Amino acid sequence: MLTKDLLLDKIEKRTARVGIIGLGYVGLPLAVEFARAGFRVLGYDVSERVVAELNDGRSHIADVPSRAVAALIKEGRFEATTDAVRLGDMDAVSIAVPTPLAKTRDPDMSYVLSATETVARSARPGQVIILESTTYPGTTREMLQPAMEARGLVVGRDVFLAFSPERVDPGNERWTTHNTPKVVGGITADCTDVAVALYGSCIERVVPVSSPEAAELTKLLENTFRAVNIAMVNEMAIVCDKLGVDVWEVIDAAATKPFGFMRFTPGPGIGGHCIPLDPHYLAWKMRTLNYKTRFIDLASEINSEMPSYVVDKVAAALNDERRAVNGSRILVLGIAYKRDINDVRESPALDIIRLLEDLGADVVYHDPFVPSFQEDGVRHEAVALTDEELKRSDAVVIVTDHSSVDYQRLVDTARLIIDPRNATAQTKPGQARVVSLSTMKPTMDSTALAPELH
Ligand X SMILES: NC(=O)c1ccc[n+]([C@@H]2O[C@H](COP(=O)([O-])OP(=O)(O)OC[C@H]3O[C@@H](n4cnc5c(N)ncnc54)[C@H](O)[C@@H]3O)[C@@H](O)[C@H]2O)c1
Residues recognised as catalytic: 274
Question: Of the candidates 42, 161, 168, 363, which one interacts with ligand X according to CB under 6 A?
Answer: 168
Candidate list 23, 87, 350, 352; residue touching ligand X; CB under 6 A? 23
User: In this complex, which beta carbon is closest to ligand X, that of residue 158 or of residue 169?
Assistant: 169
Separation CA 380–CA 112 (nearest Å): 31
334 binds ligand X per the rule CB under 6 A: no
> Closer to ligand X at the Cβ: 4 or 167?
167
Rounded to whole angstroms, how far apart are CA atoms 190 and 210?
Answer: 11
182 binds ligand X (CB under 6 A): no
Residue 274 binds ligand X, judged by CB under 6 A = yes
CA 121/CA 167 separation, integer angstroms: 28
Stretch that binds ligand X, among 2-10, 16-24, 316-324, 426-434 (CB under 6 A): 16-24
Q: Which is nearer to ligand X, 44 or 365 (CB)?
A: 44
Contacts of 172 (CB under 8 A, 6+ apart): none
Residue 348 and residue 374: Cα distance in Å, rounded? 15
440/454 Cα distance (integer angstroms):
24
By CB under 6 A, is residue 348 in contact with ligand X?
no
Residue nearest ligand X (C-beta atom) = 24
Cα separation, 318 vs 333, in Å, equals 17
Residue 166 or 241: which CB sits closer to ligand X? 166
Work out whether 131 is an interface residue with ligand X (CB under 6 A).
no
Amino acid identity for residue 235 in this structure: E
How far is 178 from 33, CA to CA, in rounded Å? 7
Q: Which of 352, 333, 428, 342 is nearest to 390 (CA)?
A: 333
Name the minimum Å distance from CB 135 to ligand X. 7
Query: Which member of 7, 43, 45, 218 binds ligand X (CB under 6 A)?
Result: 45
For ligand X, the binding residues in 350-389 under the rule CB under 6 A are: none
What minimum distance in Å lies between the beta carbon of 281 and ligand X?
A: 9
In this structure, how many other beta carbons lie within 10 angstroms of the beta carbon of residue 147?
Answer: 19
Q: Smallest distance from the beta carbon of 357 to ligand X, in angstroms?
A: 27
Judged by CB under 6 A, the residue of 115, 162, 302, 437 near ligand X is 115
Which residue in 134, 201, 224, 347 binds ligand X (CB under 6 A)? Answer: 134
Q: Show the CA angle centred on residue 238, arms to residues 234 and 240, nearest 5°.
A: 110
